[in-house]
Chain A
């Protein structure tokens, strides 16, 4: 277990190899082997470490490794006197991080393997670059997960943001891709702004940045039920960071755009791992959050609102990846809802199951896109079931899982969340259930539009259909022979993930269904300050029967969603359009994603740019001009001084400058060359002094 630091470092080495040497010298195979090999090694280590962790008694499952000093101790004032600002490179393995490293390395490895085939048509340097980024991402993600202090986590936090930026903009020659990358990074930075301030406040309050130490200290502070105390402020700031990273309202806008990246990237980063970092972070600081009930409430509300809003937008999207993206946003909202109502374990559980089925769905969509020659619009697909059965089957499983169909993983985790929400607030529960229904609807809308109905895509050589379209995409540099099943390297990960999506839920079968909710008990130590201490808020309980009733309701709603999708897209495909016409207003709002992007663009982006240009003008015109005016410089560039004259009014310095310049000419003008005027000046001097002495002394 002392070698856990190797878990992130291995992919890091892979990234370095591929980045420094690979781009120039590796052929595709080598690059792929390096990347997958390091990931596999990392997975292996994770498994061993996890096994060792399991081998420990429940309340001792905490292991910290300090690799090196990072920032050596520097004295600094804190709220409690002079503290010592000190950050080591330290890693923590506990149940929560243990689960996470498994998810990251496991799904990471699968996606690496998948990418080997998916990215095959890329040129060699780009191929190596891709794997370099992917490995780098895993490095940072594992750092984030394993880091035992806030700052180490922040390193991973920012690092995954960077990788996300790089991978979204992987096809940098596409304007939209590089735009999306930039947007992701900058929006994330806004979140990071809150996060880092939260970290500062943590240090200021506790004098340490170690999660464990902070949790222990925080546990001894009173719960801030009545008002916003310092803990609430910390949590709020941290949550701002989580909002950015996990794409919650109002900072969710980057995630749908991030779909510009290659699909494996979407699967790994924007579904399975990175975007859940916010949830993970909140879970990491469960003790802090549970001392700030008001913030918890905010977390829950934002999570819920995001879940609903994203689900509604997902209803009308036509881009296959965007549907999945909004679905991700929505599911993340669920996770926050869970943490917000205090069900940290449920949130983490859903995080894990979601990682499986969402990665599966993305990879499946990637497979479809691959098959359709980079076509992403569902309206141009249809009837693919016959061409790619494996993809169809696995995606179907994924959709069932996310829709919450019983006995699949999503069912268990989602119902746990809904149950806990119900305990917390019934209104929340109702809304969450509605969102779940919408999820089912749009997921099956996706399945139906893609795999059922008629084939609506472009024609291929020798194939049927005659409405050939010109493709801008240069991805298809080889002739396209119609939709086809993806190669083995892609389907195997799909199958593995599908198995996962089915089985992952069984680690957390609720008691109502006769399970023991193993995952919850396993994770519990990570959410309390002292192992063995009981979890909070376990007071309210429902009978198993009521719990089963709730499950039934949510299953019913999900079934309703699926049915509606079936009716609208299989039975009567025209209904969709009818509805769209009938509710034209709402439909437009939804297709335009509530105009949030436009709103942000008009306010923040444009505002900033206008401000920036204005300041520049100010800088060039006034501040600079003011200085230019100071005579000496003016003469050097008469042209500039000419322009300057217009700015003379602006400020005293400017005036001084002008006086200075004119003064020089003035003094010269006095120098008339006439001797008598010179003598006159002398006389003036004498007169002035005499008068001064006469009057003043």
Chain B
């Protein structure tokens, strides 16, 4: 554990948005432009200060980095304990980037209660960042719950038609999951005390526990409920379409890009390493639900008439894919799962921005209201196309890397699962292309669409980072994958006792890595190999 920065970098990242909140609170609510500038500047600053996480991150250090540790509530052993590994560093970067994009995309979309809007948006940012940084379980939970409130307001105040319903549904759904998760946290906490005699919420300590099987099951289920609702996994997903549909654009973007990652982050950070045996035991359940989610989400998406709802259901499908890779419990699968989380953030985030742009112009999300937009908004159509392709996993774009790794990861575990899951890709192409066709192609049949202006420069800039990332990850994902190496290895070392982390392996047999492991396959002729 170390802090390469030498100063509390994570705290700086964490509290930059709060500084913006304070500044906004001090600003007169009528000076809307000034408010917008402040919010944008804060979000931009937030992104800039998070950049060192990319450049200063040491891929050769398997421990936690940029660690900060202060006493918080000594009497129950809770600490202000922040630190990142490659996984959380990437998610933090994604969060700060999405923060910028979300704030920027709201410039003209939000015209009422501007001040409060940005206050909530920035507060949400802090909550999300904190959850990704916290290495103290209680602190994590605190941030986890803190996120709910701003999001609730974002949906509830600035949302569309059915916003109150969606907002409360979002809130309660997540809450039910997370309070049960809290019980799981407490159970780990007390178990740790009974073993070590120390009261602590230190996650790194929990990562070393060997909890007895029966208790593991319960803890896993408690965690599962909390995280699965957030992901959302198949039977717990119904809040998502509503929340997405009714949230304002930036809300949807952040919800899809970052908030959903909380669930998967939780699984990888907590469920897998803390209760590895239970995780292994529940693989069939989780994988089953994931596969159902993939197919089900895709099929339901296909039936949608509402553009945003369609994208929302595609989220269900994609997140099923993420879960599938994770519960392959193979390094490739988990790596793919993490990459796919980033990808989902990028592509689905962009898709929501895309919907938001026409929604802002036309105030309807009915797919049938559109058609032939390629003609009036060519730039828009192009970006949409790229993001559609990214979403359906076209090679050279980001989605492909994730899907391939996930499917390869699950394939070595079970051919059947991979067969079924891969068919989700076909369906994914079907609903996305159909959507694209219905909205972009054909002639402009609706006279209201004739005068739609193409993207403004500001709007283009909200997409540029996402496009760059999509291509970057698609063509050269190595920097990302390198950063994930130790994270994945640490998790793998927990879930599989005979796993040798790459860093250690490289150290042991320096330079002998070129030996193609394939030769092993040749020596032992393979028979089907289904496990």
A interface residues, Cβ below 8 angstroms from B: 19, 23, 68-85, 125, 151, 154-159, 162, 165-166, 169, 172-173, 175, 178-179, 181-182, 185-186, 189-190, 192-193, 196-197, 200-201, 203-208, 213-214, 217, 220-222, 229-230, 233, 608-609, 611-613, 615-616, 619, 623-624, 627, 632-633, 636-637, 640
B378 and A69 within 8 A (CB): no
Judging by beta carbons under 8 Å apart, are B525 and A83 in contact?
A: no
The 5 closest A-B pairs by CB, nearest first: A80-B521, A207-B518, A155-B395, A83-B517, A80-B520
The reply on B86 being an interface residue by CB < 8 A is no
Contacts of A169 in B (CB 8 A): 437, 441
| Residues 415-434 (chain B) with a chain A CB within 8 angstroms | 415, 418-419, 422-423, 425-427, 429-430, 433-434
Contact A633–B517 (Cβ < 8 Å): no
Known contacts A85-B408, A609-B303: does B441 contact A186 (CB below 8 Å)?
no
CB neighbours of B173 from chain A (8 A): 627
Q: How distant is A607 from chain B, measured CB to nearest CB, in Å?
A: 11
Looking at the assembled complex, report how far the CB atom of A676 sits from the nearest CB atom of chain B, in whole angstroms: 37
Is there an interface contact between A189 and B481, defined as CB atoms closer than 8 Å? no
Check if B494 is an interface residue, CB within 8 A of chain A. no
Indicate if B82 sits at the interface (CB-CB under 8 A). Answer: no
Instruction: Render B466-487 as a binary contact track against A, CB cut-off 8 A, 1 for contact.
Output: 0000000001111001100100
Q: Are A78 and B527 in contact (CB under 8 A)?
A: no
A254 to chain B, nearest CB (A): 13
Residue of B162, B235, B529 touching A205 (CB-CB under 8 A): B529
Encoded as 1 (CB less than 8 Å from any A CB) or 0, chain B from 423 to 451 comes to 10111011001100100111100000000
B476 / chain A contacts, CB cutoff of 8 Å: 68, 70
- Chain A neighbourhood of B522, CB < 8 A: 80, 206, 217, 220-221
Known contacts A154-B395, A158-B394; A80/B526 CB under 8 A: yes
Contact, CB under 8 Å: B441 / A615: no
Instruction: List 17 additional A-B contacts (Cβ < 8 Å) besides A207-B517, A612-B301.
Output: A70-B477, A73-B502, A73-B513, A80-B522, A80-B523, A81-B520, A169-B437, A172-B374, A173-B375, A173-B442, A175-B441, A182-B437, A185-B429, A207-B518, A221-B526, A615-B300, A616-B300
User: Could you mark each residue 36-66 of chain B with 1 if its beta carbon is under 8 Å from any beta carbon of chain A, else 0?
Assistant: 0000000000000000000000000000000
Q: Say yes or no: A186-B238 contact (C-beta < 8 A), given A158-B395, A201-B415, A613-B303.
A: no
Which of A76, A78, A203 has the most CB atoms of chain B within a 10 A radius of its CB? A76
A615 & B477 in contact (Cβ 8 Å cutoff) = no
Contact, CB under 8 Å: A172 / B422:
no
What's the dominant secondary structure at chain A's contact region?
helix
B437 neighbours in A (Cβ, 8 Å)? 169, 178-179, 181-182
Is the C-beta of B124 less than 8 angstroms from some C-beta in chain A? Answer: no
Q: In the complex the two chains form, what is the Cα distance from A350 to B218 in whole Å?
A: 64
Judge whether B517 and A624 touch: CB under 8 Å: no
Residue of B nearest to A184 (CB): B433
When the two chains form their complex, are residues A80 and B441 in contact, meaning their CB atoms are under 8 A apart? no
Complex interface: chain B residues within 8 A of A633 (CB): 165, 168-169, 172
Q: Quick check: A201 and B478 within 8 Å, CB to CB? A: no
Q: List 5 A-B contacts (CB under 8 A).
A: A71-B478, A74-B485, A172-B374, A182-B434, A201-B411
Does chain A have a CB within 8 A of B389? yes
> Given B165, B235, B304, which contacts A640 in the complex, CB threshold below 8 Å?
B165
B244: min CB distance to chain A, Å: 14
Q: How far is the CA of A71 from the CA of B423 in the complex (A)?
A: 23
Contact A159:B521 (CB < 8 A) given known A85-B332, A185-B433: no
Q: What 1/0 mask marks residues of chain B from 159 to 202 whose CB sits below 8 Å from any chain A CB?
A: 00010110011001100000000000000000000000000000
Give the shortest distance, in Å, between B179 (CB) and chain A (any CB). 14
Known: A172-B442, A200-B408, A608-B299. A78 touches B433 (CB 8 A): no
Closest residue to A175 on the B side, CB-wise?
A: B442
Interface presence of B404 (CB below 8 A): yes
Kindly identify which residue among B415, B434, B481, B517 contacts A80, using a CB–CB cutoff of 8 Å.
B517
Residues in B neighbouring A73, C-beta threshold 8 A:
502, 513
Bound Cα distance from A457 to B164, whole angstroms: 64
Q: With CB as the reference atom, state the residue of chain B lying closest to A172.
A: B441
CB-CB under 8 A for A71 and B481, given A155-B395, A189-B426, A193-B425: yes
Question: Does B3 sit within 8 A of A, measured CB to CB?
Answer: no
- A194 and chain B: residue at smallest CB distance: B422
With A77-B330, A159-B394 known as contacts, the answer to whether A627 contacts B238 (CB < 8 A) is yes
- Complex CA–CA separation, A207 to B409 (angstroms): 13
Q: B300 to A74, Cβ gap below 8 A?
A: no
Closest chain-A Cβ to B298's Cβ sits at a distance in Å of: 8
Residues of B within 8 A of A213 (CB): 516, 518
**B526 engages A230 (CB within 8 Å):** yes
Main secondary structure of the interface of B (DSSP, over half): helix
| B528 lies within 8 A of chain A by Cβ | yes
Instruction: Find chain B residues with CB under 8 A from A166 CB.
Output: 385
CB closest residue in chain B, given A178: B441
Nearest CB in chain A: distance from B440 CB, A: 7
- Of residues A71, A155, A193, A213, which shows the largest number of chain B Cβ atoms within 10 Å of its Cβ? A71
Interface string of B384-424 (1 = CB under 8 A from A): 01000100001110001100110111011001001100110
| Contact A182-B433, Cβ < 8 Å, known A71-B477, A159-B395, A217-B521 | yes
Residues of A within 8 A of B382 (CB): 19, 23
Residue among B303, B335, B409 with most chain A CB within 10 A: B303
> Which residue of chain B has the shortest Cβ distance to A153 in the bound complex?
B395
Q: For A640, what are the chain B residues with a Cβ–Cβ distance below 8 Å?
A: 165
B331 contacts the other chain (CB 8 A): yes
- CB-CB under 8 A from B440, the residues of chain A are 172
- A69 in complex: contacting residue of B235, B302, B478, B527, CB < 8 Å: B478
Given contacts A158-B395, A204-B411, A230-B527, contact A197 B422 (CB under 8 A): yes
- Give CA–CA (A300, B183) in the complex, Å: 62
Q: Determine the chain B residues whose CB is within 8 A of the CB of A609 once the complex forms.
A: 302-303
B300, B331, B395, B476 pick with most chain A CB within 10 angstroms: B395
Complex-state Cα separation, A619 to B241, whole angstroms: 10
Shortest C-beta distance, B373 to chain A (Å), equals 10
Q: Which chain B residues lie closer than 8 Å to A72 at the CB level?
A: 478, 481-482, 485
Residue of A nearest to B234 (CB): A623
Given contacts A159-B396, A178-B441, A636-B164, contact A222 B404 (CB under 8 A): no
B441 near A611 with CB under 8 A, answer no
B433 and A624 contact, CB distance less than 8 A: no
Contacts of B301 in A (CB 8 A): 612
A155 to chain B: which residues have CB within 8 Å?
A: 395-396, 400
| B422 touches which of A75, A79, A196, A203 (Cβ 8 Å) | A196
Contact A80 B524 (CB under 8 A): yes
Given contacts A178-B442, A619-B238, contact A612 B300 (CB under 8 A): yes
CA distance A157 to B165 in the complex (A): 45
Closest CB-CB distance, A182 to chain B, in whole Å? Answer: 5
Q: A69-B478, A79-B526, A197-B419 are in contact. Are A615 and B516 (CB under 8 A)?
A: no
Q: With both chains docked as a complex, state the minimum distance between the C-beta of A372 and any C-beta of chain B, in angstroms.
A: 24
- Interface contact B521-A78, CB-CB below 8 Å: yes
Partner of A84, one of B237, B330, B513: B513
A201 to B488, CA, bound (A): 23
Contacts of B349 in A (CB 8 A): none
B426 — which chain A residues lie within 8 A by C-beta? 186, 189-190, 192-193
- Chain A residue with Cβ nearest B440: A172
User: What's the nearest-Cβ distance from chain A to residue B386, in Å?
Assistant: 10
Do A173 and B372 contact each other (CB < 8 Å), given the known contacts A84-B513, A197-B419, A608-B430? yes
Question: Roughly how many angstroms separate A623 CA and B169 CA in the complex, as a whole number?
Answer: 13
Q: Which of A201, A229, A619 contacts B527 (CB 8 A)?
A: A229
A154 vs B400: C-alpha distance when bound (angstroms): 10
Interface pair B404/A186, CB less than 8 Å apart:
no
The reply to whether B529 and A230 contact each other, CB–CB distance below 8 Å, is: yes
Q: What is the CA–CA distance of A103 and B336 in the complex, to the nearest angstrom?
A: 36
Q: Are A230 and B528 in contact (CB under 8 A)?
A: yes
Choose one: A70, A222, A627; the contact of B478 (CB below 8 Å).
A70
Chain B residues positioned under 8 Å from A185 (CB to CB) = 429, 433
